[in-house]
Amino acid sequence: MSSGQDVIDVAVVGVGRMGRHHARTYKKIAGARLVAVVDADAERAGAVADEYGCESFGTVDEMLAKFPDVRAVSVAVPTAYHLRAATPLLSRGIACLVEKPMAPTVAEAKALADEATRHGAILQIGHTERFNPAVRAVVGMNIRPRFMEVHRVSTMTFRSLDVGVVMDMMIHDLDIVLTLAGSPLARVDAAGVAVLGEHEDVANARLVFQNGCVANLTASRLALKTERKLRVFSEDAYVSLDYQKRNGVVIHRAANSDALDEVRRQLESGEDLSSLDYSRLVSVEELNMAAAPGEAEDWRNDPLTAELTSFIDAVRRGVTPEVDAQAGFAAVDAAERVVAAIRAHRWEGLEKARV
Ligand SMILES: NC(=O)c1ccc[n+]([C@@H]2O[C@H](COP(=O)([O-])OP(=O)(O)OC[C@H]3O[C@@H](n4cnc5c(N)ncnc54)[C@H](O)[C@@H]3O)[C@@H](O)[C@H]2O)c1
């Protein structure tokens, strides 16, 4: 970012678990000035405002009365209130970054997208994993996946129980596999189990895309460990990434063609290769996570900083954000289809499926 850029006044609506991270992060983004936080809980809003040196309000309208020139707002209220909280902002043309999932239903996601379009307002959706450097490295490889395997499991935090694990956790991976598949969704099959309440706590989905690509996703919030992994299989390469560690490995087919030709030759001549260690035969490379031209090296380790920097940059330049309303809508649509498939799934021997 060059010096002399205009400073963009920003605010955060909803400063609970996630929103306070937005407030903290805006404070360190050059070219953004955090002027206000809004929360229905006045004490919470006041405490966050004191910590980050800005003003606090109980409603968006009160905030706008004092700061009518605010240009960019993060909306991090519970998903059920995204539409209600963002509408007065979008209707004034103010850019919004709405946390993920965009909305609890496709109908509300569409209403949100339509409101932004009607008023020419920038709307970004908070799919933070898109800014994970390991994910960016895989997306940058431009591979054409044949199939993908995703595991996102964690121990129970007793948070976000008002929605199921598909809308809360799997939605991150739905956005990523939709991005990597690069093709519309054709079919969804899924199964899930609700243990603690009426919503699924564990889910497995198989997505088939129109170009034939398949994604198999598992999400659980009742696991005994935490694991967030994506494996991508294509004609040209195999990639494995760890969302949490923000690293990964890749095996390029072309780089191993001599070794694979030799194995093929030995197999054809009937040699016994059972003592051969395949993992030592192929060359396994670390994912290349060097910053792309124009990307700052320092925020590559912090996806939220990268996400908010990208948002502020889109606002400054008046361009479509990297994770736009269409992407947010597609993820909610896919999640709704997964939940519908779970409900439609038939269990032999059970009178009624639990979800
Ligand atoms: N990107 C991510 O990785 C990530 C992680 C966690 C949560 N989230 C998303 O962030 C959003 C918030 O989740 P959370 O866990 O921070 O929730 P939370 O309950 O911890 O915080 C929500 C805050 O919003 C306030 N609030 C509620 N309704 C309001 C309204 N109408 N006006 C103003 N304030 C209001 C509440 O008082 C609370 O302080 C959800 O959409 C969630 O899915 C995203």
pLDDT at 351 over 70: no
Average pLDDT, the chain: 93
- The CATH number for 186's domain is 3.30.360.10
What Rg, from alpha-carbon coordinates, does the chain have?
Answer: 23
- Per the structure, the count of domains in the chain is 2
Same domain? 25 vs 100 = yes
Q: Is residue 24 part of a domain?
A: yes
* CA nearest to 205, candidates 244, 235, 230, 173: 173
Are residues 34 and 172 both part of a single domain? Answer: no
Give 19 Cα–ligand 1 centroid separation in angstroms: 6
Range of the domain at 29: 8-128+298-323
71: in domain? yes
Percent of the chain at pLDDT exceeding 70:
95
CA distance 307 to 128: 6
- pLDDT at 350 (0 to 100): 61
Please check whether residues 150 and 264 belong to one and the same domain.
Answer: yes
Residue 85 sits in the same domain as residue 137: no
Q: In terms of domains, do 154 and 290 share one?
A: yes
Residues 101 and 86 in one domain: yes
With a 6 A CB cut-off, is 40 part of the ligand 1 pocket? yes
pLDDT at residue 297 in the model: 67
The pLDDT value recorded for residue 293 is: 67
Same domain flag for 218 and 315: no
In this model, does residue 309 exceed pLDDT 50?
Answer: yes
Is 18 within a domain? Answer: yes
Q: Is the minimum distance from the CB of 18 to ligand 1 under 6 angstroms?
A: yes
Residue 348 has pLDDT above 80, yes or no: no
Does 201 have pLDDT greater than 80?
yes
Mutate to test the pocket of ligand 1, among 39, 60, 63 (most ligand atoms within 8 A of CB): 39
What pLDDT shows up at residue 272?
87
pLDDT in tens, 245-300: 999 999 998 778 888 888 889 889 998 888 888 777 888 999 988 777 667 666 66
Tell me the CA distances in angstroms from 287 to 76, 138, 176, 249, one per residue in order: 32, 8, 17, 5
Query: What pLDDT is attached to residue 346?
Result: 80
Whether residues 157 and 290 fall in one domain: yes
On whether residue 179 sits in a domain, the answer given is yes
DSSP for residue 292: P
Residues 283 and 143 in one domain: yes
Say whether pLDDT at 320 is over 80.
Answer: yes
Lowest-confidence range among 188-192, 265-269, 337-341?
Answer: 265-269
As a whole-number percent, the residues of the chain with pLDDT over 90 amount to 79
pLDDT band at 1 (very low <50, low <70, confident <90, very high): very low
The CATH number given to whatever domain includes residue 89 is 3.40.50.720
Report pLDDT for 134. Answer: 94
pLDDT class of 354 with cuts at 50, 70, 90: low
pLDDT, one tens digit per residue, over 71-94 is: 999 999 999 999 999 999 999 999
- Is 181 domain-assigned? yes
What pLDDT does 229 receive?
A: 98
Q: Report whether pLDDT(2) > 50.
A: no
CB-count burial class (<10 Å; 0-12, 13-18, 19+) for 51: middle
Buried b (16+ CB within 10 A) or exposed e, 306-322: bbbbbbbbbbbeeeebb
Distance 142 CA to ligand 1 centre (A): 34
> pLDDT tens digit string along 28-54?
999 999 999 999 999 999 999 999 999
Distance in angstroms (rounded) separating the CA atoms of residues 83 and 108: 7
Asked if residue 352 has pLDDT above 60, the reply is no
Q: Does residue 3 lie in a domain region? A: no
User: Measuring CA to CA, which residue among 115, 191, 201 is closest to residue 153?
Assistant: 201
What pLDDT does 282 receive?
Answer: 83
Q: Give yes or no: residues 231 and 94 share one domain.
A: no
Whose CA is closest to atom 25 on ligand 1? 14
Confirm whether 276 is domain-assigned: yes
Give distance in angstroms: CA of 162 to centre of ligand 1: 12
Pair 17, 164 in one domain? no
- Taking the C-alpha atoms of residue 348 and residue 26, their distance in angstroms, rounded to an integer, is 52
pLDDT digits (tens, 9 = 90+) for 218-243: 999 999 999 999 999 999 999 999 99
pLDDT 10s digits, 106-154? 999 999 999 999 999 999 999 999 999 999 999 999 999 999 999 999 9
Q: What separation in Å is there between the alpha carbon of 293 and the centre of ligand 1?
A: 34
Does residue 110 fall inside a structural domain?
Answer: yes
Query: Is residue 3 pLDDT above 60, yes or no?
Result: no
Whether residues 117 and 158 fall in one domain: no
- Paired tokens of 12: 């955060």
